Amino acid sequence: MKNQSINGLMFESYVNHNKRNVQLNENKAQLKQMLSGNKIDQNEFNEILNSDSSPTKKFVGWIGRQFLKTKEPNAPFDWDQLRNAVTEFIVLANNGTITGEDSNIEKYPSYEALQQKVNQANEQVKEKGPSKSQMEGDVEVYLDNNNALVVAPLNHAASRKLGMSEFAHRITKDGGKDCAWCITFKNDGHWKDYFENQLITFYFAKPKTPEKLKELQKAFPRRNVQSCAVLVDIAPGSDPESDSPEGKIREGFDADDKKMSAEDTIKYLKILGVDV
């Protein structure tokens, strides 16, 4: 009886896996039609695919259509902005903040309409300030000297507090400052997805002197290098609350939330004096 139960579970898992693969291939087929019809090139195909973080890539058709509607000939397209909006929508829909008909991305006729809904949903999330006791010990300091600061928030409250203080490098509409990284937003859905589901730990890094900032600006002339969020894949068996990045650096995001490759992220950290 026990073996039958185990076999049943294995079969169910096999069936679900196959279903996901079928759905994934069906959704990717929409993009392949755009590719074969010369509406998009291979690089655009890859960018659209990477902009959808859902397991079956169920939003790629909508993303592709929005891209075709908004792209301009010979002009750079802001993939980071689109990716952030779609990723945030997925998180808000999955955690129940966006529900019902509003959770169907096809309802939104444009990228702007989707972004407006995401902004409204985030505004509805009530701000809950962490208590002093909650914050104690919830930030690990990896490096803090005259030139640089590198810290690791261990929960969403700590991440948000850092985003509203040491790493607030984005000017808001009312003239204030906040952080562009989604893991510092009011809604903790992004944090839970990265930290709990993907086993990602974060390191927030920034220069502390004008000289070090200038050095980073010289190395990355087209980026806002006031700070960098570093994503580290936790090595199997290692402690996710470790104060040293023992895992593998996946990528980073600059102060404008623009994605940085693993190589550029390591370069950024080395300029700050981090031994990576």
Between 275 and 123, name the one with better pLDDT: 275
Between 215 and 2, name the one with better pLDDT: 215
Distances (CA, A) of 178 to 114, 141, 201: 22, 21, 21
The reply to whether 140 and 182 lie within a common domain is yes
The reply to whether 6 and 45 lie within a common domain is yes
Residue 27 has pLDDT above 70, yes or no: yes
The reply to whether 186 and 257 lie within a common domain is yes
- State which amino acid sits at residue 76: P
Structure tokens at 159: 């991440």
DSSP label at residue 1: -
Between 246 and 56, name the one with better pLDDT: 56
Q: How many domains does the chain have?
A: 2
Residue 92 has pLDDT above 90, yes or no: no
pLDDT at residue number 154: 86
pLDDT at residue number 210: 94
The reply to whether 10 and 141 lie within a common domain is no
pLDDT at residue number 108: 92
Mean pLDDT rounded to a whole number for the chain? 79
The reply to whether 17 and 104 lie within a common domain is yes
The reply to whether 95 and 184 lie within a common domain is no
Least confident of 114-128, 207-221, 250-264: 114-128
Domain that holds residue 212: 132-272
The reply to whether 136 and 266 lie within a common domain is yes
DSSP label at residue 234: P
pLDDT at residue number 2: 38
The reply to whether 141 and 253 lie within a common domain is yes
Domain finish residue from 124, 145, 177: 124
pLDDT digits over 232-276, tens only? 876 444 444 444 445 688 899 999 999 999 999 999 999 999 887
Say how far apart CA 208 and CA 243 lie, in whole Å. 20
Residue 75 has pLDDT above 60, yes or no: yes
pLDDT digits over 176-192, tens only? 788 999 899 887 888 88
Nearest-CA neighbor of 244 among 137, 143, 149? 143
Between 55 and 266, name the one with better pLDDT: 266
Domain finish residue from 68, 92, 124: 124
**Residues contacting 68, CB < 8 A, separation 6+:** 34, 39, 40
Between 74 and 230, name the one with better pLDDT: 230
**Residues contacting 71, CB < 8 A, separation 6+:** 77
Domain finish residue from 84, 108, 124: 124
Say how far apart CA 60 and CA 26 lie, in whole Å. 11
Per-residue pLDDT band for 15 (boundaries 50, 70, 90) equals very low
